[in-house]
C-alpha cells in the first residue's frame, strides 16, 4: 500500500526513474553514446521493462536519448558541431524570450533578478575561480528570463528540452569559459534593458551575449 501524497501530483515509478536517469545522463554517469540495455536497466532500478520504457521514451523527448527501431536507445553523443547548433537555437529563442520578458516581467521579478546577480557578483569577487557557482548563476539568470517571458511554449522548449542538453555540455565539455567578467557585465546591461521595458534592445543584448559564447567555442575549436 503506497500512501500517495495527494497534494503534489503523485510521482509514479516511471517518473522517479526518468528523473534519476536524466541526472545520471546529464552528469556523465551514464556515458555518451552508450547503448542502454533494457533488461539490465530494469534490473538495476528493480522495475519492469514497461515502466523503464516509459521513462526512456520521455528521455528521448528531452533529446538526451536516441532510439532506433528494433535496436534500442543510445545516449546522444556530444560534438562541437552540435554545441554550435544549440547556441544558434538559444540565440534566437532566448533573444525572443528576453524581448518578451521586457514586456511581461513584474517589477518584483526584475528586482529579484538584480539581487541574484549582485549575490553572484560578490561570490565571484570573494572566492575567485569558483567556476561552479558562476556556472549555476548563469543558468539561473537565463532560466529566470525565459520564465519571465510568460510564453509557455518558449518555456517548454527551453527549460524542458534544451537546458538539460546545455547542462550536459557544461558538465562534460567543462566550459569554464574565460568570459566570467564580461558575462557579468552583459547580464547587467540586459537587466537594465528589461527594467527600461526596452524589448528591442533586450533582445539584441541577449543575442549578442549568447553569440559571444558561441564565437568563443568556435575560436577554441579552430585553435585545436
Partner DNA sequence: AATTGTTTTATTGTCGACAGTTTTAGCTTG
Partner DNA sequence: CAAGCTAAAACTGTCGACAATAAAACAATT
CA atoms within 13 A on the CB side of 199: 11
Query: Inter-axis angle of helices 13-26 and 49-61, to 10 degrees?
Result: 50
Quick one: what does residue 35 bind among DNA, a second copy, none, with the CB cut-off 5 to 8 Å set by partner type?
DNA
Give the nearest distance from C-beta 54 to DNA in angstroms: 6
Q: Which residue shows C-alpha cell 518555456?
A: 155
Quick one: what does residue 129 bind among a second copy, DNA, none, with the CB cut-off 5 to 8 Å set by partner type?
none
Could you say whether residue 48 binds DNA (CB under 7 A)?
Answer: yes
Instruction: Show the cell assigned to 188.
Output: 547587467
Could you say whether residue 195 binds a second copy (CB under 8 A)?
Answer: no
Q: Say how far apart CA 97 and CA 56 lie, in whole Å.
A: 29
Of the listed pieces 3-11, 33-41, 111-119, 179-187, which binds a second copy according to CB under 8 A? Answer: 3-11
Cα torsion at 180, 181, 187, 193 (round to 10°)? Answer: -160
Q: Which residue shows C-alpha cell 542538453?
A: 165
Binding mask 85-124 for DNA (x = CB under 7 A): ----------------------------------------
For residue 75, the surrounding DSSP H or E stretch is: strand 72-75
Q: Beta strand pairing status for 65-68 and 35-36?
A: unpaired
Give the number of other CB atoms < 10 A from CB of residue 158.
23
Quick one: what does residue 151 bind among a second copy, DNA, none, with the CB cut-off 5 to 8 Å set by partner type?
a second copy
Could you say whether residue 148 binds a second copy (CB under 8 A)?
Answer: no
Of the listed pieces 80-88, 109-117, 169-177, 181-189, which binds a second copy according to CB under 8 A? Answer: 80-88
Q: Which of 152, 181, 222, 224 binds a second copy (CB under 8 A)?
A: 152
Q: How far apart are the first and last CA of the chain?
A: 58
Q: Which residues contact 222 (CB under 8 A, 6 or more apart)?
A: none
| Residues making contact with DNA (CB under 7 A) | 1-4, 6, 10, 12-14, 35-40, 46-51, 53-54, 67, 69-73
Residues at the site binding a second copy, with contacts judged by CB under 8 A: 9-12, 15, 50, 53-54, 57-58, 60-61, 63, 68-70, 82, 85-86, 88-89, 91-93, 95-96, 100, 151-154, 156-157
Amino acid at each position: 500500500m503506497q500512501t500517495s501524497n495527494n497534494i503534489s501530483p503523485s510521482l509514479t515509478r516511471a517518473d522517479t526513474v526518468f528523473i534519476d536517469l536524466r541526472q545520471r545522463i546529464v552528469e556523465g554517469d551514464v556515458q555518451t553514446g552508450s547503448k542502454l540495455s533494457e533488461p539490465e536497466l530494469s534490473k538495476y532500478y528493480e522495475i519492469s521493462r514497461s515502466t523503464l520504457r516509459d521513462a526512456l521514451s520521455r528521455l528521448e523527448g528531452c533529446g538526451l536519448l536516441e532510439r532506433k527501431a528494433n535496436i534500442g536507445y543510445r545516449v546522444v553523443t556530444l560534438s562541437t558541431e552540435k554545441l554550435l547548433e544549440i547556441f544558434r537555437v538559444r540565440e534566437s529563442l532566448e533573444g525572443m524570450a528576453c524581448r518578451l520578458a521586457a514586456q511581461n516581467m513584474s517589477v518584483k521579478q526584475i528586482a529579484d533578478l538584480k539581487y541574484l546577480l549582485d549575490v553572484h557578483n560578490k561570490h565571484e569577487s570573494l572566492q575567485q575561480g569558483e567556476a561552479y557557482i558562476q556556472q549555476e548563476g548563469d543558468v539561473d539568470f537565463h532560466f529566470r528570463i525565459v520564465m519571465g517571458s510568460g510564453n509557455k511554449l518558449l518555456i517548454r522548449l527551453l527549460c524542458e528540452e534544451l537546458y538539460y542538453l546545455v547542462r550536459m555540455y557544461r558538465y562534460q565539455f567543462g566550459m569554464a569559459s574565460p568570459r566570467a567578467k564580461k558575462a557579468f557585465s552583459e547580464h547587467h546591461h540586459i537587466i537594465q534593458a528589461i527594467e527600461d521595458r526596452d524589448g528591442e534592445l533586450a533582445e539584441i543584448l541577449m543575442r549578442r551575449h549568447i553569440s559571444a559564447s558561441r564565437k568563443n567555442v568556435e575560436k577554441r575549436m579552430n585553435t585545436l
